[in-house]
């Protein structure tokens, strides 16, 4: 059961919504991220469960570091288990020692740094003895996940940035809800809380990045979502990913093409949609 002194900003049905607590929530969030990362909400088979937390840190870590005020989680009030999360950011340029970077560029670089912290430099240089015991331990940890996981890590280092679609400078989010709790309004309440933080005076648009493929949700799924006859999402950019081999696409029923896409929504319309306004 959840602690009686947990500070929820919202309780809805059997769920409580609160700010992310890194010490308390990191592992649960990372494992949920891993369990839903494959299109279709299935376990991310390219990164075995042994590396689930490391994978989750790569995905959610940049948001946790840069914008913890926009990182929310949902608990099942009956069990106290974390069953959903949303990470988001305002999307404005990030100040660095070398000047300003676009949010997307900073996010990709931050993810790469986290990956190197988790797995070493993710390159064949890891085999060099001059990198010392710590880097050697990271290398063997990555190697222990299996050759396909190592290929994925090398692919992510070399190609990830090229396979990430561009996005406009506006609030961006991604979220996951655990299987068995979908359709209960958890995702809608997380999105509603995030989107309502921004006023139309500063941001009229909101961005989300999703993966689409024939074997799961296609781009049409998002482009056909409507509120009062008007589209919720519009395509901003799309990039095909070579993360999966053809045999993996066939085995996982992903179709011929897997794409990462940036979608942009009218902030006010999306907010009305998730609230269920008539």
pLDDT tens, residue by residue, 77-114 = 999 999 999 999 998 889 888 889 988 889 988 998 89
pLDDT of the residue at 126: 47
pLDDT tens, residue by residue, 150-170 = 899 888 888 877 898 998 889
pLDDT of the residue at 5: 65
Q: What residue ranges define each of the domains in the chain, with the CATH number in brackets?
A: 10-204 (3.40.630)
Q: Which of the residue ranges 20-29, 102-111, 114-123, 186-195 would you say has the lowest mean pLDDT?
A: 114-123
41 vs 170, more confident: 170
pLDDT of the residue at 160: 77
List phi, psi (to 5°) of 209: -110, 130
Q: How far apart are the C-alpha atoms of 143 and 123, rounded to whole Å?
A: 12
pLDDT tens, residue by residue, 198-240 = 877 788 999 999 999 998 889 999 999 999 999 999 999 999 9
Confidence of residue 24 (pLDDT cuts 50, 70, 90): very high
List phi, psi (to 5°) of 25: -110, -15
- Judged against a pLDDT cut of 50, whether residue 244 lies above it is answered with yes
For the record, the structure tokens of 95 come out as 């100040």
């Amino acid at each position: 059961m959840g602690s009686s002194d947990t500070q929820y900003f919202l309780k809805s049905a059997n769920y409580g919504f609160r700010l992310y607590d890194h010490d308390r929530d990191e592992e649960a969030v990372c494992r949920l991220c891993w369990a839903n990362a494959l299109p279709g909400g299935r376990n991310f088979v390219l990164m075995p469960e042994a590396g689930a937390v490391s994978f989750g840190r790569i995905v959610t870590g940049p948001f946790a570091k840069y914008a913890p005020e926009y990182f929310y989680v949902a608990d099942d009030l009956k069990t106290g288990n974390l069953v959903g999360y949303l990470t988001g950011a305002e999307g404005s340029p990030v100040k660095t020692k070398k000047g300003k970077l676009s949010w997307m560029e900073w996010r990709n670089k931050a993810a790469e740094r986290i990956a190197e912290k988790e797995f070493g430099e993710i390159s064949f240089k890891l085999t060099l003895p001059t990198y010392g015991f710590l880097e050697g331990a990271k290398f063997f940890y990555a190697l222990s996940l299996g050759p396909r996981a190592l290929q994925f890590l090398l692919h992510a280092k070399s190609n990830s940035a090229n396979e990430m679609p561009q996005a406009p400078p506006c609030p961006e989010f991604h979220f996951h809800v655990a299987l068995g709790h979908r359709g209960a309004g958890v995702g809608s309440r997380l999105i509603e809380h995030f989107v309502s933080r921004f006023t139309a005076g500063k941001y009229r648009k909101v961005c989300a990045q999703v993966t689409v493929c024939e074997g799961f949700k296609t781009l049409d799924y998002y482009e056909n979502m409507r509120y009062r006859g008007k589209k919720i999402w519009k395509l901003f950019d799309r990039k095909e990913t070579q993360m999966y081999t053809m045999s993996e696409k066939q085995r996982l029923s992903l179709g011929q093409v897997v794409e990462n896409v940036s979608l942009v929504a009218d902030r006010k319309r999306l907010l009305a949609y998730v609230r269920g306004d008539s």
